[in-house]
Amino acid sequence: MPELLIIKPSALRDIVHGLQVAASIKAQCPEWRISWIVRDIFSPLVRSCTAVDQVYVFRRNAGARGFISLMREVRRTEFDLVLDMQGLFRTGMMAKWSRGKRKVGRSDAREGAGYFYGEKVPLPPGGLQSHVLEILLQFCATVGAEPRLAGPLRFRQLDSLNLSFMEPRKGVRPVLIFPDSGQSTKKWNGYAQLTAHLIREAGRKVVWAGINYLPCRESFPDGSFLNLTGNTSLTSLPALLAKADWVISNDSGPMHLSAAMGLKTIGLFGPTDPQQYGPYPLKSPTNYVIQAPVGDLRLLSAKEVFYLFNRIEGVSVRAQSKSPMGVG
């Protein structure tokens, strides 16, 4: 069985896209055994993905001693192929010190990482303006596979967690919202008002989720709202997403994971370009983008997003009932 090592320690969005590439390779070339180097905080997600067979945990805070310990563990296996999907100095060093017959990296590698491997995958026809996932999909060619998705990402033990709080209300599954973002320019401040519209006008159940706690000071009827921000783990994230009717999020890792799982996803975008960073595939009948006027999320009102949500939901229902092609 040929051995493949993927080096993609962070961040969540990039790891999700890397997992989609791994799933594509596994689907087209199931004989490959796939191992992965990932940061400790993201390891539960990678470990639970069905496309990955072995996980090596990179503890960034452990310093040089932790790095040496990691590479000793990695070097116990001689890999037929090593792929540096990150393209930074640290990951280039990981590629250099791993034992691999072929070592391949990104053609747009930075920080001198390109010096650590002899092969680089070409960019897609759109170059650096392509969607970030399309750039990573070019790694499929290293095993003779086509640069295409193989279907939704799948995870182990999705049904083993107690998620009774995600049960449907009035026969309809909850709307799951991720209101936080790592960058202030990507963070929309209208989620509380949107939640009020969804509950009071549409009769929907709404659940907030995310790593960092965000308060919602609105008052809602019992059972119609649950705030899980600050209490959401990567271990439970795929199962949580799978229970939602819709996922609404800023440009963030959970948004990309939702799209990768084939779930109904709406991404709210400010200054970043959805053509490069939107939920992929961009024209999927389950993926939608709402972009703020002139890229400024402060100019996007909750009432407008609620109106567009109702419109998108209607389009989605019609598209999925008629054919899988739908409207993107």
12 half-sphere exposure, CB direction, 13 A CA radius: 21
Report the Cα–Cα distance between both ends of the chain, in Å, rounded. Answer: 39
Give the dihedral sign, CA 21/27/28/29: positive
Contacts of 55 (CB under 8 A, 6+ apart): 35, 36, 38, 43, 46, 47
Task: Report helix, strand or coil for 121.
Answer: strand
Residue among 188, 178, 239, 181 nearest 209 (CA): 178
Residue 160, pLDDT score: 66
| Strands of the sheet with 3-7, listed across from one edge | 54-58, 33-39, 3-7, 81-84, 103-106, 119-121
Do 3-143 and 165-322 show the same overall fold?
yes
User: Exposed/middle/buried for 77, CB within 10 Å: 0-12, 13-18, 19+?
Assistant: middle
- Domain assignments of the chain as residue spans, ordered by start: 3-143, 165-322
Other Cβ atoms within 10 Å of 118 Cβ, number: 10
Residue ranges of the chain whose pLDDT lies below 50: 323-328
**Tokens 């739908």 correspond to what residue?**
326
Superfamily of domain 165-322: Glycogen Phosphorylase B; (3.40.50.2000)
Question: What is the model's pTM?
Answer: 0.94
Say which CATH topology domain 3-143 has.
Answer: Rossmann fold (3.40.50)
Cα distances (angstroms) measured from residue 52 to each of 33, 34, 153: 8, 5, 11
Task: Name the phi and psi angles at 103, rounded to 5.
Answer: -130, 120
| Strands of the sheet with 206-210, listed across from one edge | 225-229, 206-210, 175-178, 246-250, 265-269, 287-291
Residue among 24, 127, 128, 22 nearest 85 (CA): 22
Residue 318, pLDDT score: 65
